[in-house]
Amino acid sequence: MSDLTKLTIAETRDGLKKRDFTATEVVSAYIKAMESNRQYNAYVLETPEIALEQAKASDRRYADGTNGALEGIPLGIKDLFCTKGIRTTACSHILDGFVPQYESTVTGKLLSAGAAVLGKLNMDEFAMGGSNETSYYGPAVNPWSKNEKLVAGGSSGGSAYYGPAVNPWSKNEKLVAGGSSGGSAAAVAANICAGATGTDTGGSIRQPSAFCGVTGIKPTYGRCSRYGIIAFASSLDQAGPIAKDVRDAAIMLTAMSGYDAKDSTSADVAVPDFESFLGQDVRGLKIGIPAEYRPDGLNAEIAAYWDKGIEMLKARGAEIVDISLPHTKYALAAYYIIAPAEASSNLARYDGIRYGLRVPGQHLDDLYINTRTEGFGAEVKRRIMIGTYVLSAGYYDAYYLKAQKVRQLIRRDFIRAFEKCDAILTPTAPTAAFPIGDKSMQENPINMYLNDVFTVSVNLAGLPGLSLPIGLSAAGLPLGLQVIGRAFDEATVFKIASALEADAKFVRK
């Protein structure tokens, strides 16, 4: 029997239906792979016993014909999703030992579809970060590595976003998996889960997917319930899948989606079978290319692959149209006011009284201060402080209210753009994966924030966006393209992404 961990979800599903192998055999293969690939630090908690019990139950359901859509498929769960009876910490010290007594709606749907849970996946603390380096458990490691020394200088050595490169990277240098869903992307790329859940607040599904050469989609805001997902920024957070290819992402998203009365932001919108749209003709579709996403200094390799993607769709009969998203240049600034403001409010609940870490003090105020000082990492503290500042008296109108107005302008830009096109094609990230501990990122947080330059506007507008690998850089690292769709039109996004995937012929690691 070939290595079962190399199969996609679709291939595994078909093999299980044909009884070529059992769910127990599949889960056992992934457990073995998971245990022998801990160098990637993708999992912060492994649950092999639970997964095996779930696999045995799946085998019984296959025997009596009651199997679900994801029956026997081993998944990894981002540590932001509450899982009943399984430790959930958002990779923060302040939630040490927290074991939820309820299940998030998304993971509940996956379990109801028959999935097996291999464990909880690494992430940036409270989803705040772009490299998975803010995790209390240390960074997830990208399974990809460079195939040659990258020399500083020229278009590959730096960009207008980051300034000039300082030191050449060595071939053996460990690379970031991206963030915040870095553990999810790394685990899928390393074949130590068949698929994974992620969340995306400003690019946290799409950017790590691009860095790790896998596929991830942030669906329309409200498509997947947020109930049971530890909140970062409530008006921006959205759950979605990270998978080996476009088909697997479609299968997972169909299972994850749906209205939930427990979530006031959940949309009561019908969920189509997204898999059924794959392979459909894209002839006649209008693909928008925003001028603002090609600034001076854009990495030449990324620009070239973007042009290649445009030519692929044009060759299939799609019409390429130029569009403008004029307020894009304000998206990062607006995002890094709105998201920290919401984070400062959401994280106020972690006080050391009810659950998680408690650091005693002489007085109640001391307990609060000691617990939050020790429990939160530097990036989380930074965002709490920014958020508290922009919400404070005298600054609310100047910063937070103005950012919300900019958000509406960005949303209107997309509405106008979609009057001319059916979907938008852009790069996913301005660079390939960079080294863990990169000084330019560590010493200036703004450089890290700039990784989200192509993704945050999609969250601000509440639209669906999918990242898929399009090719490799000269250094052998994956690069991704992003397909952006109208609200609740993930079907068209999947249709276009499957066409790009078929023509790109990207070879998974």
Long-range contacts of 36-41 (CB under 8 A, 24+ apart): 37/190, 37/192, 39/141, 40/140, 40/141, 40/142, 40/143, 40/177, 40/186, 40/187, 40/190, 40/192, 41/122, 41/137, 41/138, 41/139, 41/140, 41/141, 41/183, 41/186
Alpha carbon distances (Å) from 176 to 8, 83, 168, 276, 474 = 24, 26, 16, 34, 18
What is the SS3 assignment for 116?
Answer: strand
Nearest C-alpha neighbor of 253 from the set 192, 198, 191, 203: 198
180 is catalytic: yes
Angle at 265 between CA 261 and CA 266, to 5 degrees: 50
345 is catalytic: no
Neighbours of 234 (CB within 10 A): 15
Q: Whole-angstrom Cα distance, residue 395 to residue 403?
A: 12
Nearest C-alpha neighbor of 349 from the set 86, 81, 92: 92
For the record, the structure tokens of 102 come out as: 């309820």
Q: Whole-angstrom Cα distance, residue 46 to residue 395?
A: 45
DSSP one-letter string for 145-213: --SSPBPSSHHHHEETTTEE--SPBPTT--BB--SSSHHHHHHHHTTSSSEEEEEESSSTTHHHHHHHT
Q: What single-letter amino acid sits at 490?
A: E
Contacts of 32 (CB under 8 A, 6+ apart): none
Q: Whole-angstrom Cα distance, residue 321 to residue 303?
A: 17
Contact 493, 423 (CB under 8 A): yes
351 DSSP assignment: S
Specify the pairing of strand 74-78 against strand 195-200: parallel
> Pick the catalytic residue: 145, 156, 180, 498?
180
Contacts of 99 (CB under 8 A, 6+ apart): 85, 86, 87, 88
Residue 491 main-chain phi, psi, to 5 deg: -60, -45
> Pick the catalytic residue: 92, 156, 184, 204?
204
> Pick the catalytic residue: 58, 78, 159, 257?
78
Which residues are designated catalytic? 78, 180, 204
